[in-house]
Amino acid sequence: MRCEWKFCTQRDPSSVSSIMTPPTYYFSFLLLLVLEPSAAGGEEAGPAAGDKNVLLIIVDDLRTSLGCYGDDIIKSPNIDQLASRSILFTNAYAQQSVCAPSRVSFLTGRRPDTTRLFDFNSYWRKHAGNYSTLPQYFKEHGYVTMSVGKVFHPGISSNHSDDYPYSWSVRPFHPSSEKYENMKTCKGKDGELHANLVCPVDLSEVPEGTLPDIQSTEEAIRLLKLTKQKKSSFFLAVGYHKPHIPFRFPKEFLKLYPIENISLAPDPDIPRNLPLVAYNPWTDIREREDVQALNISFPYGPIPEHFQRLIRQSYFASVSYLDSLVGQLLNTVENLGLSNHTIIVFASDHGWSLGEHGEWAKYSNFDVATRVPLMFYVPGVTNRGQPQQNIFTYIDPLSPEPERNIPENVKEDPVELVSLFSTIADLAQLPSLPECPVPSFHIEICTEGQSLSPYLITSKDKRGNDEIVAYSSYPRPSDTPQWNSDKPDLKDITIMGYSMRTPDYRFTAWVEYNPITFEANFTDIHAQELYFVETDPNQDNNLFNSSIHSNLLTKLFGNLKSGRSFN
Ligand SMILES: *[C@@H]1O[C@H](CO)[C@@H](O)[C@H](O)[C@H]1NC(C)=O
Ligand SMILES: *[C@@H]1O[C@H](CO)[C@@H](O)[C@H](O)[C@H]1NC(C)=O
Ligand SMILES: *[C@@H]1O[C@H](CO)[C@@H](O)[C@H](O)[C@H]1NC(C)=O
Ligand SMILES: *[C@@H]1O[C@H](CO)[C@@H](O)[C@H](O)[C@H]1NC(C)=O
Ligand SMILES: *[C@@H]1O[C@H](CO)[C@@H](O)[C@H](O)[C@H]1NC(C)=O
């Protein structure tokens, strides 16, 4: 059966979901709504504490390549519309630029030094401390909590269950078509199917006739309708897979980005004075068949220019595909009359380098890998003074001149994803989280992130100067790029790059690290980097020079040491 893009996305989601949803899952959900009286919050109820639903949208590997972040190539009209109703943070940073550590960090409100998760191979409750999570906190306060798609990183780091049942009221949903992501489903020039990096597809030809993010959107829409029917307060987390590689998206979205209009990264070369420990050799794209065929040398490449353009084009098309799905989800919130009662948070787990510094991955401390889109829509607060109808209309990104919305509430201070837990709890008027003491391994509920609610509730623009810092870190197995530099296992980590971003600088110190005692030795420094972001926004010119910047460095270094949570 031929399946046009617009028909695929507009067909009745329930018909698809009922096929792919195990009956036990559906049944347990209904049972829960019936049995749990605290889950029933009336939408007619006045604005009392805890009466707001939460929709948390988490995107995988999405950098700030969005219209609302000033990117004028990208077509993201629906996310831009959300941004125009929200408070948008232009300098939000992940605590580690790889999926599992970043997600466990912001879902528990602790930094990687406290979750002790720098790779994919441990479950914090067993390995670090029995920390409560953001969804768990809502669950314990009477919300029905639901996970659709990739919210926790699946596998060991969430005990092969997305931390169910602690975090979620019902078993998390994963789209059935996810299993094809890494299979040979991309048609190559030879007419054969390959496991390619660049993978525009015809939906009528892919297995099951659908893609994971389409299925997740359908499931999220189904759950929204169900909770609306049952009038229960919900915390719904929807995790989108794109634009994570492979770039497998409906090919219609390519037409938004003619290849002749695609430029290279502004700084496609490896910076001359980059310490080698800072460089990551982008191993995961090298595994794809189309990249292997290019015979690119390890670790530095480069990738031929025509293929650089193809990667950028596919990433941008994946973002527009994502945007159309987010638009359908938000439009459902609107159509169900939920936009006055639902806090919407949009974030990504970290960024991705599209050729900047000659890199093609996350796995670093640069802004391009750590910086994330972050916006909060709080009904009646962030859209004050705006029309109260048609808050989230669907805007087709494929239409010739999609409507453009400009964000009105923009905050430029550096902020951290680890603040999500306390911020969302505050916005929903749940009891505020206590700040974690150091160490906090034995404490189940506390936060290492500062709540961002002062930015949202008051018109406060700036905090105290010395508070305006976002911390990240990245581990390495060696001073020079190795096959496992991107994703070292805990036992192989010998160096930790502790990094801080202030309004003016990015400063990183790569120090000796012991993966058995979890101790960083700040007297054994392997390399340091200092970038002035005003004159060098892409961080290509490492100006670290201990004699010239000694005072500044002493100050930054002191902040860096005190900013991380030691045990
Ligand atoms: C860990 O936390 C969960 C949920 O809060 C609780 O049910 C469990 O008993 C705790 N486990 C331990 C070993 O304390
Ligand atoms: C992890 O999952 C296993 C299998 O379901 C379970 O037996 C174990 O208790 C879980 N771990 C924790 C810390 O809850
Ligand atoms: C591509 O670039 C040309 C020339 O700058 C411009 O006229 C055209 O609108 C661009 N196309 C798209 C889809 O952005
Ligand atoms: C791949 O590149 C290497 C040099 O980097 C060269 O020696 C080798 O012949 C190339 N292989 C193919 C199949 O082109
Ligand atoms: C949403 O709330 C505002 C202010 O509380 C109210 O004026 C408006 O009519 C509401 N809109 C809908 C669609 O309920």
- The tokens describing 422, both together, are 């306390």
Please name the residue that has the structure tokens 């160096």. Answer: 495
Residue with tokens 């019936």: 34
| Cβ within 8 Å of residue 524, ≥6 positions away | 511, 512
Q: Does residue 526 carry a pLDDT above 90?
A: yes
465 lines ligand 4 (CB under 6 A): no
Rounded alpha-carbon distances, angstroms, from residue 336 to 221, 300, 330: 10, 51, 10
- The residue whose C-alpha atom lies closest to atom 2 belonging to ligand 3 is 261
Task: Give residue 481 CA to ligand 2 midpoint distance, Å.
Answer: 36
Beta carbon of 125 within 6 Å of any ligand 2 atom: yes
The residue whose CA is least distant from atom 9 of ligand 1 is: 130
- Ligand number nearest CA of 386 is 5
Cross-strand partners of 470: 501
CA of 26 to the centre of ligand 1 (A): 26
What average pLDDT does the segment 275-285 reach?
Answer: 97
Burial letters 455-489, b for 16+ CB under 10 A, else e: bbeeeeeeeeeeebbbbbbbbbbbeebbebbbbbe
Omega of the bond leading into 302 within 30 degrees of 0 (cis): yes
Residue 15 Cβ inside 6 Å of ligand 4? The answer reads no
Measured over the CA atoms of residue 18, residue 24, residue 26 and residue 27, the dihedral's sign is positive
Residue nearest to atom 5 of ligand 1 (CA): 132
Please name which ligand lies nearest the alpha carbon of 442: 1
Instruction: Quote the ligand 2 centre to 130 CA distance (angstroms).
Output: 12
Strand 495-501, strand 470-476: pairing: antiparallel
Mutate which of 286, 294, 295 for ligand 4 pocket (most atoms within 8 A of beta carbon):
295
pLDDT of residue 463: 53
Ligand 3 pocket test, pick from 72, 259, 261, 320 with the greatest ligand atom count within 8 Å of Cβ, gives: 261
Q: Which atom of ligand 5 is nearest to the CA of 337?
A: 13
Judged by its nearest atom, the ligand closest to the C-alpha of residue 302 is 4
pTM above 0.75, yes or no: yes
In 3-state terms, what secondary structure has residue 275? coil
Q: Among 484, 498, 490, 485, which residue's Cα sits nearest to residue 516?
A: 490
For ligand 3, is residue 261 a contact (CB within 6 Å)? yes
Nearest Cα residue to 76 out of 56, 59, 92: 59
Ligand nearest to the CA of 254: 3
Mean pLDDT, residues 244-263 taken together: 98
Ligand 3 centroid vs 398 CA: distance in angstroms?
Answer: 15
- Residue nearest atom 1 of ligand 4, based on CA coordinates: 295
Q: Which residue has the tokens 């009528």?
A: 204
The reply to whether ligand 4 has any atom less than 6 angstroms from the CB of 297 is yes
Position 115 scores a pLDDT of 96
What are the pLDDT digits (tens) for 436-471?
988 899 999 999 999 999 898 765 555 555 558 899
Q: How far is the CA of 340 from the centre of ligand 5 (A)?
A: 6
pLDDT, residue 11, reads: 34
Centre of ligand 1 to C-alpha 132, Å, is 9
**Residue closest by Cα to atom 4 of ligand 2:** 159
**Biggest CA-to-CA distance, the chain:** 69
Cβ(381)–Cβ(59) below 8 Å = no
Please choose from 117, 157, 159, 163 the residue to mutate so as to test ligand 2's pocket, defined by most ligand atoms within 8 A of CB: 159
Distance CA 392, CA 9 (A): 17
Distances (CA, A) of 506 to 181, 319, 361: 35, 27, 19
* Cα–Cα nearest to 236, from 175, 168, 176: 168
Tell me which residue has its CA closest to atom 10 in ligand 4.
Answer: 295
Q: What is the DSSP letter of 273?
A: T
Report the C-alpha dihedral over residues 90, 357, 522, 506, rounded to 10 degrees: -30
Report whether the peptide linkage leading into residue 503 is cis, meaning its omega lies within 30 degrees of zero.
no
* Predicted local confidence at residue 43, as pLDDT: 36
Per-residue pLDDT tens over the stretch 65-123: 999 999 999 999 999 999 999 999 999 999 999 999 999 999 999 999 999 999 999 99
Nearest atom in ligand 3 to the alpha carbon of residue 258 is 13
Catalytic positions, written as ranges:
99, 153
Cα dist. 180→195, 258, 338, 387 in Å? 10, 27, 34, 43
Of the pLDDT bands very low, low, confident and very high (cuts 50, 70, 90), residue 34 is very low
Q: Which two tokens stand for residue 311?
A: 């990667």
97 in helix, strand or coil?
coil
Of residues 400 and 194, the one with the higher pLDDT is: 194
Question: Which residue minimizes the CA distance to atom 2 of ligand 2?
Answer: 159
SS3 of 528-567: the string is EEEEECCCCCCCCCCCCCCCCCHHHHHHHHHHHHHHCCCC
Ligand closest to 292 (CA) is 4
Q: In the prediction, which pLDDT does 459 show?
A: 56
Whether pLDDT at 390 is above 60: yes
SS3 per-residue string spanning 364-433: CCCHHHHEEEEEEECCCCCCCCCCCCCCCCCCCCCCCCCCCCCCCEEECCCEEHHHHHHHHHHHCCCCCC
Short-list 104, 169, 85, CA closest to 345: 85
Q: If you average pLDDT over residues 330-350, what whole number do you get? A: 97
Provide mean pLDDT across the span 37-58.
Answer: 58
- Which domains does the chain show, CATH number per domain? 5-268+294-466 (3.40.720.10)
Nearest Cα neighbor of 103 from 53, 157, 41 is: 157
Average pLDDT of the residues in 416-431: 97
Cα 130 to middle of ligand 1, angstroms: 6
* DSSP codes, 160-180: TTTTTTTS-SSPPB--GGGGG
What is the average pLDDT score of the chain? 89
What is the helix (H) or strand (E) element at residue 470, kind and residue range?
Answer: strand 470-476
**What is the residue with the minimal CA distance to atom 14 of ligand 5?**
340
For 395-420, write each residue's pLDDT tens digit: 999 998 878 899 999 999 999 999 99
Q: What residues pair up with 476 in beta bridges, in sequence order?
A: 495
Output the residue whose Cα is nearest ligand 3's atom 4: 261
**pLDDT of 25 over the 60 cut:** no
Q: Quote the pLDDT of residue 125.
A: 98
What share of the chain in percent tops pLDDT 70?
Answer: 87
Residue 323 binned pLDDT confidence (cut-offs 50, 70, 90): very high
Dihedral sign of CA atoms 193, 195, 200, 201 in order: positive
Q: Which residue has the higher pLDDT, 552 or 82?
A: 82
- pLDDT for the residue numbered 229: 84
Q: For the beta carbon of residue 229, count every other beta carbon within 10 angstroms.
A: 10
Tell me the CA–centroid distance for residue 144 and ligand 5, in Å.
24
**pLDDT higher than threshold 90 for residue 547:** no
Q: Is it the case that residue 49 has pLDDT exceeding 50?
A: no
Q: Is the CB of 258 under 6 A from ligand 3?
A: yes
Token pair listed for 560: 């860096």
Distance 291 CA to ligand 4 centre (A): 13
What pLDDT shows up at residue 230? 82
What residue has token string 């994570």? 244
